[in-house]
Structure 1
Amino acid sequence: MVTLFLGVILSSSRKNTSDLKQNKPNILVILTDDMGYSDIGCFGSEIPTPNIDRLAYNGLRFTHFYNTGRCSPTRASLLTGLYPHQAGMGHLSTENHPQAGYIGDLSKNAVTLAEVLKNAGYSTFMTGKWHVAKDNDYDGDKSNWPMQRGFDRYFGTLNGSGSFFDPGTLTSGNTNIPPYKGFYYTSAISDTTVKYISESPSSKPFFGYIAYTAAHWPLHAPADEIKKYKGFFDKGWDILREQRFKRLKELGIIDDAYVLTDRGVSIPAWKDEPMKEWQVRRMEVYAAMIDVMDQGIGKIISALESKGVLDNTLIFYMHDNGGCAEPVGTDKMEIPLTEEQKVLKPYAYDFPNPDKKQPYTREGKFIRMGKGVMPGDADTWTGYNEEWANVSNTPFREYKQWVHEGGIASPLVIHWPKGIKSKGQLRPHPSHLIDIMATCLDITGIPYPNQFLDNKIQPLEGKSLLPAFQNKPIDREYLFWEHGANRAIRVGDWKLVSKTSFNKTFSEADEDKWELYNLIKDPTERIDLREKNPEKAMAMIKLYREKALYTKALPWPWKPKK
């Protein structure tokens, strides 16, 4: 006989749905993709995000919230309340290694928030990017797909990235589906979320996980949305970083201890940039992608209001990693189309796209890449690269993949009118994705299981953020990171961090490449204090090694570069 939960959780699951509805809030978790710390209005951006800002100014903003620095690990931690290696997702779901922490498939010894809430009487749904299953084959193993990991309804994509006009692995339930003419993925995620909220049974509370792919590459947005940002970024990245830094201070997000980090060494001064028109266009499209997402969040808020449940809906908003410096589609100059590539090769809209990227659009245009390709349309495939990621991550240094603050610092907005009375306030408490499940279970009174579907479940790592709602401290020993052999641990105000010479490689020289920072006095990691504090550094190195074994970050697959 299948055992769903042990002990006390059985009594919880027997509660009738009307009792649940009276006592439990609805829960929405909104996760965005490849956006930096200062990319929303309430965290200093020039890009208007009035709907996210509405949640922030009527809720709480956590100013020292962390993700894992990359797509799949973040999603695994968010879903399970564990460090990503404990959930089997030390790297990406597309890179599968024999070590337990790096199998690239969501562990069955981890239980998802959806599974816990569903078993306790919640209706559950998900929209958007999944990216935690090794097998995305529609004829393959679906045991780690959303519908098999606790969600009653699912619409989204199983893989990590793709066209916004024709995404690969577009899925409804467990079925690969095609897009429709005029399809734009961000809007479809928002509209489907509204549909799921509207159709949720009134007898149950609901849990929704909304995982946008905005603003991940490729840079795609509707033309009319891009037009809104004409001239917005003409002043260039140097001035825009300074302006964001100033607004962050004015908003109280950062204080005088923060010093704006230097421009990335490979980024030219804006005055020396030879391709200004192309550079500006990239940021215009990026901004439009965020704008469309924010509009969708506004629709979701309106759906909650229409249903009369906004006041008792607990909403979390966060980012999966820092801004992305990857030179996607721009590592060389644009190459003119060949005569063959100029020939239109359309294919029908009734054909599902199982792949990440097709060579041609549905209308038959060859998809262009290269420096100088003006992004936005479906027949382009580029990113915004380090030049603009440096702006997104203001005031920090480093980017997605690394575990310095620029790679892992995220806004966290929590909105819950019924439970949060300190509206518009800031919370400086160091916190992490692992805390989201703990917070939800604390608020709902639902116990965390030690067994699920005959699988032994690892202990929950996260801490409830509920004390921080009243500005009380959170008792925590440490926060831990590892990604691609980049390492970090934070204990109180101190952070030990290391950047490997080459991602996914590790040599003897990398072993001792530790830096030590006091994040209260030096929150942008500029002054390495390791030599001045050797005992502190050694103690934290020892703790890191202990926790690397405990969290399954070790043993790892990373070897010296050949």
Structure 2
Amino acid sequence: MLCVAAPAKGEAAEHPNILYIVADDLGYSDLGCYGGEINTPNLDALARDGVRMTQFYNTGRCCPSRAAILTGQYPHRVGLGHMTVTDLGQPGYRGVVSDEAPLIAEVLKPAGYRSFIAGKWHLGTPDPTKHGFEEWYGTTVSAKRFFDPTHLVRKPDGRKARTYPEGEFYATDAVTDHAIDFLKLAHQTPERPWFLYLAYNAPHFPLHAPKEEIAKYADRYQGGWDKLREQRLTRMKQFGIVPESTELSPRSMWKNYGETKTGTNPPWESLSEERRTDLARRMAIFAAMVDRMDQQLGRVLDYLKQTDQFDDTLIVFTSDNGACFEWDPFGFDVKSSNNNILHTGDKLDEMGGPGTHHSVGSGWANASNTPWRLYKHFNHEGGINSPGIVHWPAGLKAKPGSLHRDPAHIIDLLPTAMAVSGATDAGSLPLPGTDLIAQLHEGGPERMLFFEHQGNRAVRAGKWKLVALDDEPWELYDFTSDRTEVNDLANQYPDKVKELASDWDTWAAANNVTPLPNDLGVDYLKVD
């Protein structure tokens, strides 16, 4: 259990440095400080001395979430309602971030900030340094190869990326190396504050990790996802992340690539021994990726401490969406598709190494999102509710180690940066979010939050959540007693369903969400 100890607090500088850290496909309960068994001491320390949010929302998918973080807008409003795959010919689905809204680096620049990015971009444009960032090292797309240095690039043109001896490159480490390089560059002008967007690819598939990290977890997941979900929920209750009355949601359904098959995650004990061994190895690699990310983040935090910048750096950590189910309980191999390989014998030891390509599958993703339903892609809690940690010793008044239980959203991150930096101009589009630090200090008025991805949709309003799967009717849940979305109250409260659905329709029309595209241009979704 976390030990709560108050940090030494000094006077906050006029404008702090800002560090936003985003993991990729991390589940709600994967971190130690959120009930997980994965070793994450650096993030746990930030939580111990900062604030954990229990209802911190994203958009349910990588590109839209990154657009929301960097523009402060709902993603459809800036052209990224789906992915960067293709332009669907509708304002909300252009496949590239709109120039109508300035990005956070451009907003902060007039306030004197230097801005840097290390890691994943994924906004459809080829170069973040054309959007206000001075330096960048990372990938424009999703993670493809963690052991291949050619997968990551250095910008602006003419900058040299670090080089690594043969066999010693690992993307999480390299992103961290360059992030520290950028911080050293910023430290050459100490009179100017900085903003660093540290967007790790981990633990997005393919499951790649150094062998020594995988070895730590080689035997950890033999007990399966059913026991793991129970163990995590027990710790979450001990930490106060969820109420003692929280019941574990049933095993979630899944839809495979192309939606040719659907089903429900099976009981672990119903699987063959060979299948359980293969799956346990997949989760061990996933855990190793999270562990290594935490280690590397620790290097960044150590640098800030060594240079006396740690206390007056506002740090926010979250994930872009919930854990990824793609595309069934057994996971995929070779590429994202229906292809699955059952690994046995010596082939198990090869998993997670260079040249391999695996995913963790829906059973483990369900466990990562304990105790919620569903996963990335969806708007139930497993898709859109992520860990959220805020740390700022010199400026945060909330009690160290405390929990913030009011809903917040990644659209709040740009208004937060503006509030602490003194920046005043976010362009002509009104910002739908609010200052997160003010929320933590003072609370705030009841708010409504809206969601849509691939036809899945939701509204959060006070104690209520209205949510639906694509082409399915609305479901209604009372979050004072049922955040696991088990007891659908839609038939009992039809007027509330009608009211919130009308609110969603109004929001959707104003934010380029509707009309929903008939065809999203990807081969894993049905075409209306």
TM-score bin, normalised by smaller chain: 0.7 to 0.9
One-letter amino acid matched to 2:184 = S
2:182 corresponding residue in structure 1: 196
- 1:121 equivalenced with 2:112 (yes/no): yes
Match of 1:474 in 2: 444
The 2-side partners of 1:242 and 1:333 are apart by: 28
TM-score between the two structures when normalised by the length of structure 2? 0.88
1:239 to 200, 223, 227: 227
* Higher alpha-carbon Rg: 1
**Partner residue in 1 for 2:261:** none
Q: Deviations over 1:148-190 (max 9, x none)?
A: 1110010000112211011665110145979742110001111
Same amino acid, percent of matched pairs: 41
**Partner-residue secondary structure (3-state), 1:288:** helix
1:425 equivalenced with 2:423 (yes/no): no
Matched, 1:269 2:267: yes
- Deviation track 1:501-556 (CA, whole Å, cap 9, x = no partner) reads xxxxxxxxx2x611011112111100111111111111111111011001111123
Q: 1:557 aligns with which of 514, 517, 522?
A: 517
Counterpart position of 2:419? 442
Contact 1:328 1:382 in 2 (8 A): no
What one-letter code is carried by the residue in structure 2 that aligns with 1:298?
Answer: G
Map of 1:8 onto structure 2: none
**Residue 191 of structure 1: CA displacement?**
1.5
Please state if 1:490 is matched with 2:460: yes
Distance 2:329 2:227 in 1: 26
Q: CA deviation at 1:332?
A: 7.4
Distance 1:558 1:519, change over 3 A: farther
Q: What is residue 545 of structure 1 aligned with on the other side?
A: 505
Question: 1-side partners of 2:91 and 2:47: how far apart?
Answer: 38
Partner of 1:213: 201
Q: TM-score, normalised by structure 1?
A: 0.83
Quote the offset at 1:96 in angstroms: 2.0
| Structure 2 counterpart of 1:208, one-letter code | L
One-letter identity of the residue aligned with 1:314: L
Residue identity opposite 2:183 in structure 1:
I
Secondary structure (helix, strand or coil) at the match of 1:317 reads strand
Runs of 5+ in structure 2 lacking a partner? 1-11, 254-263, 520-525
Inter-partner Cα distance in structure 2 for 1:400 and 1:216: 11
Secondary structure, counterpart of 1:311 in structure 2:
coil
Among candidates 365, 368, 374, match of residue 392 of structure 1: 368
Q: For residues 467 and 177 of structure 1, what CA distance do their matches in structure 2 show?
A: 39
Among 381, 386, 397, which residue is 1:405 paired with? Answer: 381
1:328–1:72 CA distance, 2 compared to 1 (3 A): farther
Deviation at 1:437, TM superposition (A): 0.8
Q: Which residue of 2 aligns with 1:155?
A: 137
CA RMSD between the two structures = 2.2
Partner of 1:314: 314
Number of equivalent positions: 485
Matched residue of 2:75: which SS? coil
Instruction: Please list, as runs of the form range in 1=range in 2, the aligned pairs for 1:347-362 lying within 5 A after superposition.
Output: none
Q: Distance in 2 between matches of 1:333 and 1:293?
A: 23
Contact 2:331-2:360 at 8 Å conserved across structures: no
Tell me which amino acid in the other structure corresponds to 1:262.
P
Does 2:153 correspond to 1:171?
Answer: yes
Q: Which amino acid aligns with 1:307?
A: T
SS at match of 1:55: helix
- Evaluate the alpha carbon distance shift between residue 333 and residue 91 of structure 1 in structure 2; reply closer, same or farther with a 3 A threshold: closer
Contact persistence 1:217–1:328 (CA under 8 A): no
Residue 72 of structure 2 is aligned to residue 95 of structure 1: no
Of the candidates 159, 169, 172, which is equivalent to residue 186 of structure 1?
172
User: Within 2, Cα distance between the matches of 1:168 and 1:429?
Assistant: 42
Contact 1:257 1:523 in 2 (8 A): no
Q: Secondary structure at 1:285's aligned position in 2? A: helix
Q: Tell me: CA distance 1:534–1:22, structure 2 relative to 1, closer, same or farther (3 Å).
A: closer
CA offsets per residue over residues 257-281 of structure 1, 9 Å max, x none?
4210112353222222211211111
Give 3-state SS (helix, strand or coil) of 1:100's partner: coil
C-alpha separation in 2, matches of 1:121 and 1:192:
22
Letter in 1 for 2:194: F
Instruction: Please say if 1:382 is aligned against 2:358.
Output: yes
Question: Counterparts of 1:35 and 1:404 in 2: how far apart (Å)?
Answer: 16
